Chain A
Amino acid sequence: MNPIRQDFPAFDRLDRPLHFLDNAATSQICRPALEALVRFETDDRSNVKRGVYARAERASVAFDDARKAAMEFLNAPSPEEIVFTSGATLGLNTAAHILQDRLKPGDVILVSLLEHHSNLVPWQLAAERRGASLRAIPVTDGGRLDLERLDELADRVKIVAVTHASNVTGAITDVARLRAFCDATGALLVLDGAQRAAHGPLDVQALGCDLYAFSGHKCFGPTGIGVLWGRYDLLDSAPPFLGGGEMIRRVSIERSTFAPPPHRYEAGTPPIGGAIALGAALAWSMAQDWDRLGAQERELAGRMLDGLASLPGCRIYGDTGTQQRIGVVSFELEDVHAHDVCQLLDSDHGVMLRGGHHCAQPLMERFDTVATVRASLAPYNDGADVDALLNGLEAVRRKLA
């Protein structure tokens, strides 16, 4: 058994093996995060910032510490640049809100065919409001951004908003190349880190992006919480997104002045327990040996890719190598629908997969398909999970194909 499972309560009491390979959708929560959540809700539960009693003081300190954990996880320069959101989706909508006033009619937001709908629709809405338009970086047959084509797409680009790692093909984006493009064009760079954040700590300063969003539930924290990091001057350049408590400086009936970032973007009582638990999950992640975990993930991804490649009638979408990718693999079995595969793998083999368009319909169209099966790895997966997947697929193929 993979020893890291001891850190994940989901594996504590099982009457059957848990071959959980749907980590790109939601990972399991790590024990420190769950314990931090229970501790807060049991011992410290109270609102933050407005209480003077000791219990509220403890809650406020823990909440501030969580913001610092997120700062360290991202290697952000200051906790004032960490905005708690409900997840990547709200983070990306907030990013679009913050940047939209810079757009003039005719300007272009450069996205890509790899995007999850949550890094597409917010930009469509912003473009519509400002008379701007979207342009998409094409994708290679190997499921990667076709950055060779970047220069021909440059005209009037003001914002580049792309995924840091694909939730369908697993491809990791060459951010340095995009950074150079943004330097040359003056565009701002927004990264959707929803997938990448589950694979170890980040360095937004080295990446050179301007805004970065991710979700807690995909990186071993709870649901309902996420982070938007942004350069302070950008965060400070826009009006609030939502109005309410916690985000104001001074309010009269006629008008209000707004709190500085990050509070300007955190209207209302935040998900306090969620933020504290996310801080614990990020601390857990920072304490891991990601060189070892990365090697383990590549080894398992390689076994998965090799096994799939030798399965008759199996088509892999994206690169079949293990470099510059996360352990997310999409495929299809000839003549067997993705949901039939997923249902049978679960009921007959205890393997949890995802089938569908993965909220990436433009990419499905690019690959001329409607739905794929996706298997995605986390540090607690092991060879038995991959074997169960491959044996299960062989059985399904015999049964249905």
Chain B
Amino acid sequence: MNDALYDQAIIAEARSKTGAGRLDAPTVTAECDNPLCGDRITVDLAVQDGAISDLAHKTRGCLLTQASASLLARYAKGGDVAAARELRAAIDAFVKGQDDERFAILTPVRNAKSRWDCVTLPFQALADALADLEKRG
């Protein structure tokens, strides 16, 4: 069932470590834990004129979380905040079966429900950061 879970595309995306690291002066930071395994991701955002001008994440997690964190950096960095707000719901819909090109390499995760949280975690951290930003006004 999970045969393809560790196919080359996911491994390569995880190893790309896209966006890995911390920002020196983030506008906002959020930290998110996966209680199942204690994994943790910290997401730093630099926000300017309604756009995410820079993003970095520090990820302690499995390959799936790391691959997903790389995708997060690919899609959120450089985009506008409004679009980034949609990403958390989009990955949720994707694992539940909604087609979405952006997440295509994560398709095998759909069959491993116990691992859904692994791929949504980075996007939850992004959503938390954006919610924090909004609260500050």
Q: Hey, which bits of chain A sit against chain B, CB under 8 A?
A: 337-340, 343-344, 346-347, 355-357, 361, 364, 370-371, 399-400
State A271–B39 Cα separation when bound (angstroms): 37
Known contacts A337-B62, A339-B118, A343-B115; is-contact A399 B38 (Cβ 8 Å): no
The DSSP consensus for interface residues of chain B is mixed
Write out the residue numbers on chain A whose beta carbons fall within 8 Å of the beta carbon of B64: 339-340
Query: Looking across the interface, which residue of chain A has its beta carbon closest to that of B35?
Result: A357
Residue of B nearest to A357 (CB): B38
Interface centre among B38, B60, B61, B115 (most CB of A within 10 A): B38
Q: In this complex, which of B2, B37, B39 has the most chain A Cβ atoms within 10 angstroms of its Cβ?
A: B37
CB pair B5 A339 closer than 8 Å: no
Q: Which residues of A contact B105 (CB under 8 A)?
A: none
Q: Once the chains are docked, how many angstroms separate the CA of A400 from the CA of B63? A: 9
Q: Measured between alpha carbons, how far is A346 from B36 in the docked complex, in Å? A: 18
Q: Is the CB of B11 within 8 A of A370?
A: no
Q: Is the CB of B36 within 8 A of A356?
A: yes
B36 touches A343 (CB 8 A): no
Inter-subunit contact A370/B2 (CB<8 Å): no
Which residues of A lie under 8 Å from residue B62 when comparing CB positions? 337-340
A371-B63 contact given A339-B115, A347-B3, CB 8 Å threshold: no
Provide a sorted-by-A list of 24 A–B residue pairs whose CB atoms are within 8 angstroms: A337-B37, A337-B39, A337-B61, A337-B63, A339-B62, A340-B6, A343-B115, A344-B5, A347-B1, A347-B2, A347-B5, A355-B37, A356-B37, A357-B37, A357-B38, A361-B38, A364-B38, A370-B38, A370-B40, A370-B60, A371-B38, A371-B39, A400-B6, A400-B63
Please give the number of chain B residues whose Cβ is less than 8 angstroms from any Cβ of chain A in the complex.
19
Asked if B104 is at the interface (CB within 8 A of a chain A CB), the reply is no
Cβ–Cβ < 8 Å partners of A364 in chain B = 38
**Nearest CB of B to A318, in Å:** 18
Give Cα distance in the complex from A355 to B38, angstroms. 11
Q: Which 8 A-B pairs have the closest CB atoms?
A: A370-B38, A337-B62, A347-B2, A339-B62, A371-B37, A356-B37, A340-B62, A340-B63
User: Are A346 and B2 in contact, with the CB atoms below 8 A?
Assistant: yes
Q: Report the bound CA distance from A290 to B5 in whole Å.
A: 41
Q: Taking the complex as formed, is B112 at the interface, i.e. its CB lies under 8 A from any CB of chain A?
A: yes
Q: Which A residues lie within 8 Å of B60 (CB)?
A: 370
Which residue of A has the minimal Cβ distance to B66?
Answer: A337
> Is B39 touching A370 in the complex (CB atoms < 8 A)?
yes
Q: Which residues of A contact B37 (CB under 8 A)?
A: 337-339, 355-357, 370-371
What B residues does A355 contact at CB under 8 A?
Answer: 37
Given A338-B37, A339-B37, A399 contacting B63 (CB threshold 8 A): no
Task: Report B69-92 residues with CB < 8 Å from chain A CB.
Answer: none
Query: In whole angstroms, how far apart are the Cα atoms of A90 and B16 in the complex?
Result: 46
What residues of chain B lie closer than 8 Å to A344, measured between beta carbons?
5-6
Q: How far is the CA of A338 from the CA of B1 in the complex (A)?
A: 19
Q: How far is the CB of B9 from chain A (nearest CB, A)?
A: 14
Residues of A within 8 A of B2 (CB): 343, 346-347
- For residue A357, which residues in chain B have a CB less than 8 angstroms away from its CB? 37-38
Complex-state Cα separation, A370 to B61, whole angstroms: 10
Question: For B40, what are the chain A residues with a Cβ–Cβ distance below 8 Å?
Answer: 370
With most chain A CB atoms within 10 A of its CB, the pick from B1, B63, B118 is: B63
A341 CB, min distance to chain B CBs, angstroms: 9
Taking the closest CB of chain A, its distance from the CB of B108, in whole angstroms, is 10
B101 to A: closest C-beta gap in Å: 25
Q: Mark B26-45, 1 if CB is under 8 A from A, else 0.
A: 00000000001111100000
Q: Note all chain B residues with C-beta closer than 8 A to A400.
A: 6, 11, 63
Minimum distance in angstroms from A77 CB to a CB of chain B: 42
Nearest residue (CB) in A for B118 is A339
For the complex formed, measure the closest distance between the CB of A75 and the CB atoms of chain B, giving whole angstroms: 38
Residues on the B chain within 8 Å of A339, using CB: 37, 62, 64, 115, 118
Docked Cα-Cα span, A340 to B6, in Å, equals: 8
Tell me how far the C-beta of B52 lies from the nearest C-beta in chain A, rounded to whole angstroms.
27
Alpha-carbon gap, A344 to B60, bound state (A): 19
Give the CA-CA distance A380 to B14 in the complex, in Å. 38
**Chain A contacts of B5 at CB under 8 A?**
343-344, 347
Chain A nearest Cβ from B30, distance in angstroms: 19
Q: Which of B1-27 contact A (CB under 8 A)?
A: 1-3, 5-6, 11
Task: Report the Cα distance A288→B82, complex, angstroms.
Answer: 66
